[in-house]
Amino acid sequence: MAKLAINGGEKVRTKPWPKWPIWDECEINAVTDVIKSGQWGRLAEDSRCKQFEEAFAAYQDAKYGIAVTNGTVALEIALRAAGVDVGDEVIVPSYTFVASATCVLANKAVPVFVDIDFETQNLYPEVVEAAITPRTRAIVPVHFAGRACDMERLLAIARKHNLAVVEDACHSWGAMWNDRKLGAVGDCGGVSFQASKHITAGEGGIILTNDDEVAAQAFSLHHIGRIPNRPFYEHHNAGWNARMNELTAAVLMCQFGRLDEQTQRRHENGLYLDEKLGAIDGISPLRRDPWMTRISRHVYAVNYDEEVVGVPRARFMEAVTAEGVGVGGGYPHPLYKNPLFAEKRFGKIAEMVEFPDYADMHHPNCERICQTQVWVAHTALLAEQSDMDDIINAFAKVVENVDELR
């Protein structure tokens, strides 16, 4: 008789997993209060956006927060505020969400992709240093899934070559590098509050920084070039209207109230999964470097070895999902394989500025990881530690009964 659920056997997990987003009366009351107040935008001096900026920035160990409409625009503005301009080169890992690179294009600058460390999913100092040219202006370390990059060495490289460090901290709510939260460890960074993120209002973002000048510049850029204490129709920079609205800030304040406890739970459940899944042949949790003192686990990722387990990853994932533990394969290809980059669909700027030949790129670690990753959604890590055993048992059961899949 078949053991695997995909073949009609009993499922490991029948209980539902925690749903996302999590909300209660706090969000309902906060939104209702904003609607009744009539102050839906943040233009008044005292605003919920400002309260949220102050609370979230302080939590992330940043002096300033500038609340914006999404993580993409947070990164676009952060780069510009840090001095990135037309034709500058910006170093970005090839394994990330496209916004880590389109934020560079939005500034008419040049994304220079570097490979990642197969065991951490992050860019690393050696590839960064090798990619530096006289045109390089900034580095975008992406703390993928809240796994902190090697900021000590990256900051040293940046200092040596006079580069800005703009963190893609879009997954880094509550995550820590050497017990310090991320986003303002470098010059500045961007965070996302999009629907799947750990604190969300459907969309939203924030720019974080400890630098007075970068903060002033980012504030002006997100506010259509206005500067404080000047007339409303006086504009000083070619900026964005990227202001967050009060409804979003009200929801985010409630979400923020739950963030730390949830982050700690995901972190601890992640450590437990690392230990237990790591004992299964063919399943390798990512390396936890000593500076990754808290990992937010936007996804819980392992590498899958098809040779060892004996069936293609897609088949393995189907079987684990059938056991009641939903898994996915993450990004299917490096960013440079997207038509956007491979065909340089950048408009006229592609004729005016020199871009690398993305179509010829080959990053072995990134290309390999696109074929080996297995992701568990962060929501599952919000369950109890005993529920993590269902994830472990589902993986182990499929590996043990792999003959049924051939």
Ligand X SMILES: Cc1ncc(COP(=O)(O)O)c(C=O)c1O
Task: Decide: residue 179, CB within 10 A, 0-12 exposed, 13-18 middle, 19+ buried.
Answer: exposed
The dihedral of CA 106, 191, 93, 196: what is its sign?
negative
Tokens of 257: 């109230």
Q: Is 8 left (phi over 0), alpha (psi -120 to 50) or beta?
A: left
Q: Within 13 A of 210's CA, how many CA atoms are on the CB side? A: 14
Q: Is 46 a catalytic residue?
A: no
- Least separation in angstroms between CB 30 and ligand X: 21
Contact characters 270-309, ligand X, x per CB under 6 A = ----------------------------------------
Nearer to ligand X, 255 or 392 (CB): 255
**Between residues 70 and 107, which has the closer beta carbon with respect to ligand X?**
70
* Options 113-121, 167-175, 342-350, 387-395: segment touching ligand X (CB under 6 A): 167-175
Residue 377 DSSP SS3: strand
> What pairing do the DSSP bridges indicate for beta strands 188-192 and 164-168?
parallel
Active site residue 194: yes
Q: Pick the piece of the chain touching ligand X (CB under 6 A) from 166-174, 253-261, 318-326, 358-366.
A: 166-174
- Report the run of H or E that residue 137 belongs to, with start and end: strand 136-139
DSSP at 241: B
- How many residues in total does the chain contain? 406
Fill in the amino acid letter for 116.
I
Distance between alpha carbon 393 and the CA centroid of its chain, in Å?
Answer: 28
Catalytic residue among 97, 113, 300, 358: 97
- Helices and strands: H and E segment counts in the chain: 14, 14
171 is catalytic: yes
Enumerate residues 51-90 that contact ligand X by CB under 6 A.
70-72
Based on the residue annotation, tell me whether 243 is a catalytic residue of this protein.
Answer: yes
Contacts of 300 (CB under 8 A, 6+ apart): 145, 270, 273, 375, 376, 377, 378, 380, 381
Nearer to ligand X, 93 or 285 (CB): 93
Query: Is 226 a known active-site residue?
Result: yes
Identify the residue among 47, 60, 94, 100 touching ligand X (CB under 6 A): 100
Q: Interacting stretch for ligand X, rule CB under 6 A, among 11-19, 96-104, 152-160, 353-361?
A: 96-104
Question: Annotated catalytic residue: which of 13, 80, 137, 226?
Answer: 226
Among positions 207-226, residues that touch ligand X (CB under 6 A) are none
Angle between helices 313-322 and 385-400 in degrees, nearest 10: 130
**Which of the residues 42, 143, 147, 197 is marked catalytic?**
197
Answer yes or no whether residue 99 interacts with ligand X by CB under 6 A: yes
Closest CA relative to residue 328, chosen from 277, 377, 381:
377
Which member of 205, 282, 330, 334 binds ligand X (CB under 6 A)? 205
Segment near ligand X (CB under 6 A); pick from 116-124, 168-176, 381-389, 397-405: 168-176
Q: How remote is the C-alpha of 395 from its chain's centroid?
A: 25
Q: How far is the CB of 106 from ligand X (least distance, A)?
A: 11
For ligand X, the closer of residues 89 and 168 by Cβ is: 168
Write down the catalytic residue from 13, 171, 181, 297: 171
* Residue whose CB is less far from ligand X, 90 or 170: 170
DSSP 200-237: -SSS-EEEEES-HHHHHHHHHHHBTT--TTS-TT---S
Stretch 125-144 residues interacting with ligand X (CB under 6 A): 142
Decide: is 97 part of the binding site for ligand X (CB under 6 A). yes
Q: Tell me the C-alpha distance between 11 and 17, whole Å.
A: 14
Strand stretches in 210-365, DSSP E: 283-285, 292-294, 299-304, 327-328
Respond yes or no: is residue 19 known to be catalytic.
Answer: no
Q: Which of 180, 194, 315, 333 is catalytic?
A: 194
Q: Considering the rule CB under 6 A, would residue 192 count as an interface residue with ligand X?
A: yes
Q: Which is nearer to ligand X, 100 or 220 (CB)?
A: 100
Is-contact 250 34, C-beta < 8 A? Answer: yes
The answer to whether 168 contacts ligand X (rule: CB under 6 A) is: yes
Residue ranges that bind ligand X, judged by CB under 6 A = 70-72, 96-97, 99-100, 142, 168, 170-171, 192, 194, 205
Q: Which residues are catalytic?
A: 97, 168, 171, 194, 197, 226, 233, 243
